[in-house]
Amino acid sequence: MSDTGRLASINRSDGGVPKLPVNSARITVDGVDADRQADRIHHGGPDRAVCLYSLEHILALQAEGNPIYPGSIGENLTLTGVPWDSMIPGVTLDIADVRLMITSYAAPCRTIRRSFRDHHISRISGKLHPGWSRVYARVLREGTISVGDPVTLLVP
* Per-domain boundaries in the chain: 2-154
Q: What is the pLDDT of residue 3?
A: 58
Q: What is the mean pLDDT of residues 75-98?
A: 96
Give tens-digit pLDDT for 7-37.
999 999 988 899 999 999 999 999 999 987 6
Q: Residues near 21 by Cβ (< 8 Å), separated by ≥ 6?
A: 9, 10, 11, 70, 71, 147
Give tens-digit pLDDT for 94-149.
999 999 999 999 999 899 999 999 999 999 999 999 999 999 999 999 999 999 99
Three-class secondary structure of residue 118 per DSSP: helix
Q: How many whole angstroms separate alpha carbon 6 and alpha carbon 19?
A: 19
User: Residue 50: how many CB atoms within 10 A of its CB?
Assistant: 24
Q: What is the pLDDT of residue 41?
A: 53
* pTM (predicted TM-score): 0.94
Q: Which amino acid is at 48?
A: R
Say how many Å lie between the first and final Cα of the chain, rounded. 8
- DSSP summary character for residue 108: P
Give tens-digit pLDDT for 40-57.
555 567 899 999 999 999
Whether the Cβ atoms of residue 71 and residue 21 lie closer than 8 Å to each other: yes
Q: What is the pLDDT of residue 75?
A: 97
* CATH for the stretch 2-154: 2.40.33.20
pLDDT band at 4 (very low <50, low <70, confident <90, very high): confident
Give how far Cα 112 sits from Cα of 5, 29, 48, 131, Å.
Answer: 26, 25, 17, 18
Q: How many whole angstroms separate alpha carbon 45 and alpha carbon 137?
A: 10
Give tens-digit pLDDT for 112-126.
999 999 999 999 999
Judged by average pLDDT, the poorest of 35-39, 61-65, 122-126, 149-153 is 35-39
User: Residue 83: how many CB atoms within 10 A of its CB?
Assistant: 12
